């Protein structure tokens, strides 16, 4: 598509033209495992659905366009996407990552890839200058989440990319953009080499699919990712691709409303005596508030809070909400609540990356914000806290 086409238009039209066979406005679900060949090696661009599928191709084109990338790859989960990116590494390589990242990513790093002589180290990435001092001669990849999960720290993507571009042995800069989505920030435009997503979250947006994606502008990286995608075969089915594509069409509208609701929730929680800290990038108390204002369109829909009463208070609170559903995952139209230390980040327990048990993560949905605040109020009142 033309480069001056705006985000909302790309989200709706980025998958390509209407179905040439029928004129269908929506890309059909091509529920087929194989495709007819007129002669050996002669076909219409599709041979076998693990390699290519028209529904998946439409999604990959849209994802690439939204991230201002040239090459998009869809996977069966966010972790499958991350795994495929890590397959670009070789034994002896070093990966520098922030010390606040998704528990599943840490589990993959340490539980799988460290056994293949790949070294991982973790440092705070919110202070980029100190973080970049940890780059080694064998650093082949820098792994960023921004905002991070669950502490919502912000990394300066452009600064990291600019620094590594001056190195003789330039590491790849990879950004997990799941929390922000391409609507809020575009890491490739800021100098990153690869962007990954769990499309399960905001991109799909309705808690009805599992998927992942990787996007790049580098043709050599794209060639390797295409090989891995086909060779390993961790690809999404056409129905899941269809659902992500459908979700993308309303992404801009949803992300704006998520952020509006989350800001009001964060401000409400900041005044509650039960809570010692509210973490949200659009609050001036956030340590990287100015960077978030500069790098992101808005602060998104995730709010993290730390309870004065510790893990017991957080647990009671999380189990007492009505509209905030106690469940793992995030980024859906319905509000979700979880305790990372006991749920999504258990793999970091007993490690330097362990999450405070008093931290509760809220994925603020699209319900009426007054109903959400009323729900939080009744849950907080059950703690019986008096300042």
Determine whether 36 is an active site residue.
Answer: no
The one catalytic residue among 56, 61, 201, 297: 201
- Answer yes or no: are the C-beta atoms of 281 and 292 closer than 8 Å: yes
Query: Could you tell me the two tokens for 126?
Result: 């919110």
The one catalytic residue among 83, 100, 156, 176: 176
The one catalytic residue among 50, 87, 246, 277: 50
The one catalytic residue among 102, 106, 151, 183: 102
Determine whether 176 is an active site residue.
Answer: yes
- Answer yes or no: are the C-beta atoms of 13 and 26 closer than 8 Å: no
**Spatial distance between the Cα atoms of 44 and 37, rounded to a whole number of angstroms:** 8
Q: What are the catalytic residues? A: 50, 102, 176, 201
């Amino acid at each position: 598509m033309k480069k001056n086409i705006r985000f909302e238009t790309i989200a709706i039209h980025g998958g390509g033209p209407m179905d040439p066979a029928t004129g269908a406005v929506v890309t059909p679900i091509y529920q087929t495992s194989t495709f007819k060949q007129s002669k050996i090696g002669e076909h219409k661009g599709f041979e076998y659905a693990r390699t290519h599928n028209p529904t998946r191709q439409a999604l990959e084109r849209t994802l690439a366009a939204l991230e201002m990338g040239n090459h998009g790859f869809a996977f069966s989960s966010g972790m499958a996407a991350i795994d495929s990116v890590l397959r670009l590494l070789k034994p002896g390589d070093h990966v520098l990552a922030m010390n606040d990242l998704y528990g599943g990513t840490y589990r993959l790093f340490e539980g799988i890839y460290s056994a293949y002589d790949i070294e991982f180290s973790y440092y705070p990435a919110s202070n980029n200058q100190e973080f970049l001092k940890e780059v080694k001669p064998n650093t082949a990849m820098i792994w960023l989440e921004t905002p991070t999960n669950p502490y919502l720290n912000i990394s300066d993507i452009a600064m990291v990319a600019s620094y590594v571009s001056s190195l003789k042995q330039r590491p790849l800069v990879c950004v997990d953009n799941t929390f922000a989505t391409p609507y809020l920030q575009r890491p490739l435009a800021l100098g990153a080499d690869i962007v990954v997503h769990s499309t399960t979250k905001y991109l799909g947006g309705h808690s009805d699919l599992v998927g992942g994606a990787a996007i790049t502008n580098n043709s050599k990286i794209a060639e390797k990712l295409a090989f891995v995608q086909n060779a390993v075969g961790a690809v999404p089915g056409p129905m899941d691709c269809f659902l992500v594509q459908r979700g993308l069409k309303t992404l801009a509208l949803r992300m704006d409303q998520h952020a509006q609701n989350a800001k009001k929730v964060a401000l409400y929680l900041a005044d509650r005596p039960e809570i010692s800290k509210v973490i949200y990038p659009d609050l001036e108390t956030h340590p990287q508030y100015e960077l978030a204002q500069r790098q992101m369109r808005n602060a998104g829909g995730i709010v993290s809070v730390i309870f004065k009463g510790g893990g017991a208070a957080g647990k009671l609170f999380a189990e007492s909400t009505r509209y905030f559903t106690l469940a793992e995952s995030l980024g859906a139209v319905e509000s979700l609540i979880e305790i990372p230390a006991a749920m999504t980040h258990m793999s970091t327990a007993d490690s330097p990356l362990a999450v405070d048990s008093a931290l509760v993560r809220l994925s603020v949905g699209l319900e009426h914000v007054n109903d959400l605040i009323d729900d939080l109020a009744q849950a907080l009142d059950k703690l019986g806290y008096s300042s």
